[in-house]
Chains A and B, each alone.
Chain A
Amino acid sequence: MSDLSPFDAMPDPVLGAALRDALTLPHDGAFVARVRARLGSRDRGWDDVLAGWFWQGLVAASLVAFMAGWAAMSPGTVMGELPESVGAQLLDGARPGSDLLLTAMAGNR
């Protein structure tokens, strides 16, 4: 028997079990077989079939967009694609010819 107050916000397991027993109808197997046999007779419209693929399509599109974003934002790609500036070439003392370039630019003044 239930000792819970009617104000409880939690389900009453005793009352719940008694209700399930009282309301459960017999022959579940026959019912399920009957419904399964009728699934084929209820054709789904083309819009419902397409809608069935909507979520899979959305996931696939999100994945593609994510991978494209990942490729564009990866550091190797960014540095590899940016042209090296003239300033960086002048400051690179190890680069052959950088001193000649500096002298030529200074001589023009």
Chain B
Amino acid sequence: MTGVDETELAARAASGSEEAFGELVALHAPMARRVAYTILEDQEDADDAAQEGFLSAWQAIGRYDPKRAFRPWLMQIVVNAARDLRRRRRVRAAEPLDNVAAAARDDPARDMGAMDLGEKLNAALATLPERQRLAVVLFDAEGYPQAEIAKMLGIPEGTVKSDVFHGRRALRKVLESVKEEWDE
């Protein structure tokens, strides 16, 4: 977080300031896009969902309670927008996923040696159920407390702990294999 007072920006945005909301968009765009990409595994879809999330938040900002943190409120809207888009995509005819994620789904045991760390992690993420992916990304990559993630996803905190545990186990295997390659 920068020195910008997020609560002040949110209060100004709630009073109708597009400029203040635009600053909030700039602050949170990278995280919102990562979270949407975690759910949708496609860059264009992730951007569409993140954009829809921001626009929905703009329309609903009058109902934002400034006593609560802004970031989890916004991220919950982005998660919902991404899940809505994923449901709509499922209804449509099957479309090709992002190359790496699609390859991992089709053949999880394909030659991982040719990929860099980011591609390997994306491939490993693609093999996890969506809830596990989200839990581990929100906890380890974005720094949300497990209780906050539970509220955001509408699941018990114990389920978040379990999802983080299982998600980490798969992803740490990738990190360890890369470390072994580097050590050789």
Instruction: Quote the shortest CB–CB distance from A2 to chain B (angstroms).
Output: 6
CB-defined contacts of A48 to chain B, threshold 8 Å: 59-63
Query: Are B62 and A25 interface neighbours, CB within 8 A?
Result: no
Known: A1-B175, A32-B26. A42 touches B34 (CB 8 A): no
Query: Are B51 and A35 interface neighbours, CB within 8 A?
Result: yes
A18, B37: Cα distance in complex, Å: 15
CB-defined contacts of A2 to chain B, threshold 8 Å: 172, 175
The yes or no answer to B50 lying at the interface (CB within 8 A) is yes
Query: Are A6 and B62 interface neighbours, CB within 8 A?
Result: no
Known: A11-B140, A15-B172, A16-B143. A38 touches B55 (CB 8 A): yes
Query: Are B63 and A51 interface neighbours, CB within 8 A?
Result: yes
The yes or no answer to A22 lying at the interface (CB within 8 A) is yes
Please report the total number of A residues contacting B with Cβ < 8 Å.
Answer: 41
Query: Are B141 and A32 interface neighbours, CB within 8 A?
Result: no
Please report the total number of B residues contacting A with Cβ < 8 Å.
Answer: 53
Q: Mark A13-32, 1 if CB is under 8 A from B, else 0.
A: 01111111111110010011
Query: Are A19 and B141 interface neighbours, CB within 8 A?
Result: yes
Query: Are B165 and A42 interface neighbours, CB within 8 A?
Result: no
Instruction: Quote the shortest CB–CB distance from B139 to chain A (angstroms).
Output: 6
A86, B41: Cα distance in complex, Å: 87
Instruction: Quote the shortest CB–CB distance from A4 to chain B (angstroms).
Output: 9
A17, B47: Cα distance in complex, Å: 21
Query: Are B179 and A12 interface neighbours, CB within 8 A?
Result: no
Known: A1-B175, A15-B168, A25-B46. A35 touches B54 (CB 8 A): yes
Query: Are A6 and B175 interface neighbours, CB within 8 A?
Result: no
The yes or no answer to A61 lying at the interface (CB within 8 A) is no
CB-defined contacts of A28 to chain B, threshold 8 Å: 29-30, 33
Q: In the A-B complex, list the 9 residue pairs whose CB atoms are closest, starting with the nearest.
A: A51-B62, A52-B62, A22-B118, A19-B141, A52-B14, A48-B62, A16-B140, A22-B121, A23-B34
B residues adjacent to A (C-beta < 8 A): 11, 14-16, 18, 21-22, 25-26, 29-30, 33-34, 37-38, 43, 46-47, 50-51, 54-55, 58-63, 65-66, 117-119, 121-122, 125, 136-137, 139-143, 146, 161, 165, 168-169, 171-172, 175-176, 179
